[in-house]
Structure formats: C-alpha cells, structure tokens
Chains A and B, each alone.
Chain A
Amino acid sequence: MTIHRNPVDDPGFERGLQKLTPERLSAVVHQVLDTEAAARLKIYLATCVHCGLCSEACHWYLSNRKDPEYSPVGKVKETMAKLVELRDTVTHDDLRAMARIAFTECNVCRRCSMYCPFGIDIAYLLLTIRRFCHLLGIVPLYLQDTVNSHSAAYNQMWVGQNDWIDTLLWQEEEAQSEVPSAAIPLEREGADIMYSVIAPEPKILAQLIGNMAQIMAVAGMSWTMPATDGWDNSNMAMFSGDFEIMGRVERLHWDTALRLKVKRVVMGECGHAFRGSAYDGPKWLGWLHPPIPMVHAVDFYHELITSGRIRIAKKIKGPITLQEPCNIVRGLGLGEKLRFLMNAVCEDFRDVEPNREHNYCCAAGGGVINCGPIWKAERVRGNKEKAKQLAATGATTVITPCHNCHSGIEDIVGHYKLGMHVKFFSDLLLEAMEIPDELRG
C-alpha cells in the first residue's frame, strides 16, 4: 500500500544536519514546544482521536493512491506527534523526514481544517514544524535562498533598486503602446492606491505590471508605486519558519504604504502575498489588522467592473476554467467574486468541482514550489488530483489569479499533458475591456 518516497537529497537539509549540535537541538526543542507554541498545540494534540477523516481533504493523499503517509493526520504522526514524544532524542533521519514532510509535502492550504470534525488546524502544526526546522537550520536550499534575498534585498528575487525602477519605466512604455495616457506614477505621495507586487513580476513576468498600468489608466485611478524597497509584498520567510524576517519584510511594506500616505494597498494576483500582508505578518507584529486596507487584485477588478469604471467590450471565446487560490478563496472568501469576474469576461466559463472553499490546492503554494527544481517531480506527482479536476472541465484555458498557482498549474498541465493555456486574470481582462477612444489618443 505504502508508496516509498523517491529519495531526494536537499543540500539545505544535509548542511544543517552537519552543523547541528545536541545542545542546539535541546534548546530549540524547548523554545518551540515549551515557549512559542502554547494552547493550540496542546489542545490539538490532545483532541485528535485518530479518526482519519481529514485524509480525503488532502490532494497529496488523493494523488498518491490514498497512501496514508500522505494524509494530514499521517503527516502529523510523522512530525509533531513524534517530536512531542521524542523531544531532543529525535535522530537525524527523523529530522530529515520531518523537514521533507513539512516543507515539501504540505502546502499549508488549510483544506484539512474544514474536514477535521474538531476543526484542528493541521497546517498550523506543520508550520510549527517548519519553524522548528528553521531554528535548527534545516531548510530546503532554494527556499532558504529566497529568505536570504528577503533579508538582504527586501524582495524575494534579488532585484536591485536600479532594475526595479528600470523595469517600471519599461513597462510604462509597453502600456503606452496600447493606452498612450498610461503611466506608472512613482513615489506620488497622497495617491489613493499603492500598488504592490511580488518580486517574480519585475524579475520574470514584467508584462503583468504593464497590464495593471493599462487597467489603472482605463479605470482612471489615482495610484502610485514605491521607488524604494518595500514594494515587494511576497514573503517566503513566512513559509520557511523565519518569522523574524517575515515580520521585518511586512513592516517595511506597510511603512512604505504609510510613507506614501495612500488610502489602501492594492496588490497583484498572488495568494500567499495576501496572507503574509494581511494576516501572518500583522499577527507577528502584534497588529490585529493591517494599518490600512489591503485589497487583492480579484477584489479590485470586481470593484472596477461593478462600478462601471471598466466596461467589457467583448467576451473571450472558448472553454475557460479556474484555479482557485487557497489564500484568497479559503483565506478571503473571494469565490463568488471570482465567478462574477469569470462570467463577466468569458463566454464559456467551466466551473471546477469541488469548488470555492473546497477547491484543491495547486500543490505549489505554501512555499513548496520555492523548494526548487529538485522537488519538482515529487510535487507534480503529488497533484494528479488537480490534473483530473481540470481535465474534467474540458477547458482549453485555465485562469490562475495567483503566482504560485500559475507556476504550479503550468507544471501540472505540462506533465499530465492537459493541453491548456495558463493565464492570469489580467490577461483576460486586457483582451476583454473597452479602451475608450479618447484614451487611445
């Protein structure tokens, strides 16, 4: 029954284990189990009756022929339950297995909390294991690199300030080729909106910034982008367990918005960035809510269309389906608004089943895709269920309003030969929206 995991050697694990001393292990076990984790850890472990009803919530379990080792409670058994029992007598093999499970086989998508009859937050237990591994220095190499980048450059992908500004100017020109009056206003204090993006946009998907410049111009919004650090709203430290850096990144992002005296922050199509900016970051900083409202792109597009600021000129043809990002559907309840948008711009929107809060994760989120190419084969194998779900819609295009989903779904579409185009919603909106003649110049 049990599928044996393919061996994957992550240098990040091995280097950490080589440096690990028994004293450090004892200290970290004490710090995490006795100091940082409190009532939630204790009550969850005491309450779980090992009923296994969370299993079918997990795409890893469903995709791996229902191997119990991949069920949420199975993962807890091999990680947190073991750690609480063995404490500092855990072996290096145990630690290797814990790190592998917590970082690469759980997307912390929180679907299982909706299937556990007691509402146990299993993702929290796995994130606490990540925190433990981070403090031990056992983190996947690629994931750690993104955290190092956050720490040194205040963005996820080592983008320098000159490259950042240069990319914005370039995308301003690109946007002007469609809408001549489009502009990307830098450092405009007192604008209504600060637009923030994740580092992969300037690094590899710069056209998305140009897309937004066109949308903002057509909608006639007052907006700005910072020229300084603090423009990146992504946060991989949140997923590596490095909460100190997570807090630092979020604080700068919000400080930048406050410095620009904007009324709200609108963010691009990304799920985890919303989670980091609106929940996990503020939580760590001791804020109940972010200091000013954070609006996800999907929410923003919905506002632009329903208020009439953007009009749809022609609907897109062809069967189109949707990948619902956990962090804005389970995490923000945008399921209805997403469907409104899909129906507003698509002639033939094919819904997925199960959907809304119950949708399956892309298997890339939660920092899993950031563990790098060495884990790709396992990750893609771990989401066969998603391939089945998408194939059943018969769509030829899938919309992913999240960067992690976008990359994860592209990998799945490629591996399972689904023959679908993977697009962001702004790609559709640009095709469908009316650009008034007076703006064409």
Chain B
Amino acid sequence: MYEFVTGPLALAAILIFFFGSAGRIAAMLLLAKKDKVVYPYLNLHYGLRSLFHWVLPFGARNMRMHPFFTVFSFLFHIGVLALPLFLRAHLVMWERATGLTAPALPEALADTLTVIVLLVCFFFLLRRIVSPEVRYVTTAGDYLLLLLVAAPFITGFLATHQWTEYRPALLFHVLLAELLLVLLPFTRISHMLFFPLTRMYMGAEFGAVRHSKDW
C-alpha cells in the first residue's frame, strides 16, 4: 500500500499538478490574445518592477498598513513552499527516485516552520470568521481550501514526531499531500500560478501606460 501511494500514485499526482498547471497557464495566455489590450500593454521592465515590490515584505503601502498580516502571510508562504521541497525526508525520497539531491532544512527549523504554517492557518481561519469584510466574501469553499492546505502539514508533523501511530499517519500525510497537489491548479490556490501574471500586467499598465506605480 505504502509503496503504491509513494510510487505510482505520487508520480500521477505530480504529473497532474505539472500538466494541469501548464495547461491552465497556457489556456490563459491563449485567451489573453482575445483580450486585445493585454499583449500590446505588457512591459517586462514595469511588470517586474511591480512584482518585485509585491514579493518584498512591506514593499507596498497595504502591507505596511497591515504589519501582522504581512509578517504572518510571508512566513506562511515561505513555509508552504520550503517544507515540501527541502524537508530531509522528502529529499531522501527524491534521491531514491531520481538520484538528485539538495541541501535539507535543519530539523529544528523545519519543525518551527511547520508550527508557523499551522498557526497562520488558524489565523487565516479566525480572520475569515471575525473580520466582517472577510466574512462577507468568504464561501464554504474557502474554508475547505484552508483545511486542504493545513491537512498535509498536520499529518506530516504527527508522522514525524510519531505522536500517533507512525504508518497510518504517514499514509494519510502522503495521500493528503497528493490530493492538494492534484487540486492546486484547479482551485483558488492557483493564485500561485496566476499571481505573477496578474501583478505584472497591472504593473505594466500602471508603469508603461499611466506613468504611475501600483504599490
């Protein structure tokens, strides 16, 4: 069972994630041709200038207006990107499958990041419930998505520290991570794919066309 889940099933999930993402981006770029203004207005310099400001903590006025959110959100995103890629256990599996290796996160740092990711998930949940402007636009899907993201981190943490029975926790962890990977391109987590496109287009329009800035 474990061999199947970490072997063919994992490969299938990665392929769906990869081709799903590529397909979504390609479809959007193709559709953008129909939107007559998009390509003529694109400008790499101004696009990257805007993107740079928005991936830099406190690089935009709105981030400075919400310092807690900014810090939490940056830590969260660093965690959800770094942990799947650079956790020692994950790298061992990569090495076994492909022979490739990379430097791993120190264990203490990995644990801290996992706890941070989960705490920020809880913060996001509270925000959806408590803040009127967020609650007003929150859908059931938004809660499910939060759960979908948190689940692999919860089960991964439990498996690592063997607070529950190791095998089932590990199996759940791998399955939930695969589920997340498969759904990623087709849910709002696709902002991971689309964010650079939307931000760079807006940056280009503000910079090249309107001689202004958008942060």
Chain A interfacial positions (CB closer than 8 Å to B): 1, 37-40, 42-44, 46-53, 55-57, 61, 66, 68-69, 71, 73-74, 77, 113-115, 117-121, 279, 283, 286, 288, 329-333, 354, 357-358
CA gap between A283 and B32 in the complex, in Å: 15
Which residues of A have CB within 8 Å of B136?
A: 52, 68-69, 71, 74, 77
Interface residues of B in 138-168 (CB under 8 A from A): 138-139, 142
- The smallest C-beta distance from A3 to any residue of chain B, in angstroms, reads 12
Are the CB atoms of A40 and B38 closer together than 8 Å?
yes
- The smallest C-beta distance from B25 to any residue of chain A, in angstroms, reads 10
Which residues of A have CB within 8 Å of B40?
A: 288
Are the CB atoms of A57 and B142 closer together than 8 Å?
no
Asked if B133 CB lies within 8 Å of chain A CBs, one says yes
The residue among A39, A56, A66, A121 with the most chain B CB atoms within 10 A of its own CB is: A39
- The smallest C-beta distance from A256 to any residue of chain B, in angstroms, reads 24
Asked if B90 CB lies within 8 Å of chain A CBs, one says no
Which residues of B have CB within 8 Å of A117?
A: 54, 60, 62, 195, 199
**Minimal Cβ-Cβ distance residue in A for B54:** A117
Are the CB atoms of B133 and A118 closer together than 8 Å?
no
The residue among B69, B132, B190, B199 with the most chain A CB atoms within 10 A of its own CB is: B132
Are the CB atoms of A52 and B131 closer together than 8 Å?
yes
Given contacts A43-B28, A43-B198, A52-B131, contact A118 B212 (CB under 8 A): no
Given contacts A68-B133, A118-B194, contact A329 B31 (CB under 8 A): no
**Minimal Cβ-Cβ distance residue in B for A35:** B34
Asked if B96 CB lies within 8 Å of chain A CBs, one says no
Query: Contacting A50 at CB < 8 Å: which of B69, B138, B199, B202?
Result: B138
- The smallest C-beta distance from A110 to any residue of chain B, in angstroms, reads 9
Which residues of A have CB within 8 Å of B97?
A: none
The residue among A43, A288, A333, A354 with the most chain B CB atoms within 10 A of its own CB is: A43
CA gap between A42 and B30 in the complex, in Å: 12
Are the CB atoms of B212 and A333 closer together than 8 Å?
yes
**Minimal Cβ-Cβ distance residue in B for A71:** B133
**Minimal Cβ-Cβ distance residue in A for B51:** A119
Are the CB atoms of B137 and A50 closer together than 8 Å?
yes
Question: Given A1-B132, A73-B137, list of 19 further CB < 8 A pairs?
Answer: A39-B29, A39-B31, A43-B198, A46-B188, A46-B190, A50-B138, A52-B131, A69-B136, A71-B133, A74-B133, A77-B136, A115-B60, A115-B61, A119-B199, A119-B214, A120-B202, A330-B206, A331-B212, A357-B212
Which residues of B have CB within 8 Å of A71?
A: 133, 136-137
CA gap between A25 and B71 in the complex, in Å: 46
Chain B interfacial positions (CB closer than 8 Å to A): 28-29, 31-32, 34-38, 40, 50, 54, 60-62, 65-66, 69, 131-139, 142, 188, 190-191, 194-195, 197-203, 205-206, 209-215
CA gap between A164 and B153 in the complex, in Å: 71
**Minimal Cβ-Cβ distance residue in A for B202:** A119
- The smallest C-beta distance from B208 to any residue of chain A, in angstroms, reads 10
Given contacts A114-B61, A333-B210, contact A51 B202 (CB under 8 A): no
15 A–B pairs (Cβ distance < 8 Å), ordered by A: A38-B31, A40-B201, A42-B31, A46-B190, A52-B133, A53-B69, A114-B206, A117-B62, A118-B198, A119-B54, A119-B203, A121-B202, A283-B36, A288-B40, A357-B214
Given contacts A39-B31, A46-B194, contact A115 B62 (CB under 8 A): yes
The residue among B135, B137, B190 with the most chain A CB atoms within 10 A of its own CB is: B137
- The smallest C-beta distance from B41 to any residue of chain A, in angstroms, reads 8
Which residues of B have CB within 8 Å of A121?
A: 202, 205
Which residues of B have CB within 8 Å of A77?
A: 136-137
Are the CB atoms of B194 and A358 closer together than 8 Å?
no
Are the CB atoms of B212 and A47 closer together than 8 Å?
no
Query: Contacting B61 at CB < 8 Å: which of A39, A47, A55, A358?
Result: A358
Query: Contacting A330 at CB < 8 Å: which of B197, B200, B203, B210?
Result: B210
Which residues of B have CB within 8 Å of A66?
A: 132-133
Which residues of A have CB within 8 Å of B139?
A: 50
**Minimal Cβ-Cβ distance residue in A for B31:** A39
- The smallest C-beta distance from B170 to any residue of chain A, in angstroms, reads 30
Closest 9 CB pairs of A and B: A119-B202, A68-B136, A333-B211, A39-B32, A38-B34, A52-B134, A39-B31, A38-B35, A119-B199
Query: Contacting B134 at CB < 8 Å: which of A44, A50, A114, A358?
Result: A50
**Minimal Cβ-Cβ distance residue in A for B195:** A118
Query: Contacting B28 at CB < 8 Å: which of A42, A55, A56, A113?
Result: A42
- The smallest C-beta distance from A366 to any residue of chain B, in angstroms, reads 15
**Minimal Cβ-Cβ distance residue in A for B37:** A283
Are the CB atoms of A53 and B213 closer together than 8 Å?
no
Which residues of B have CB within 8 Å of A52?
A: 131, 133-134, 136-137
**Minimal Cβ-Cβ distance residue in B for A288:** B40
Are the CB atoms of B191 and A118 closer together than 8 Å?
yes
Are the CB atoms of A47 and B31 closer together than 8 Å?
no
Are the CB atoms of B132 and A329 closer together than 8 Å?
no
Query: Contacting B32 at CB < 8 Å: which of A38, A118, A286?
Result: A38
Query: Contacting B133 at CB < 8 Å: which of A61, A120, A354?
Result: A61
CA gap between A301 and B209 in the complex, in Å: 22
**Minimal Cβ-Cβ distance residue in A for B197:** A43
**Minimal Cβ-Cβ distance residue in A for B210:** A331
- The smallest C-beta distance from B120 to any residue of chain A, in angstroms, reads 13
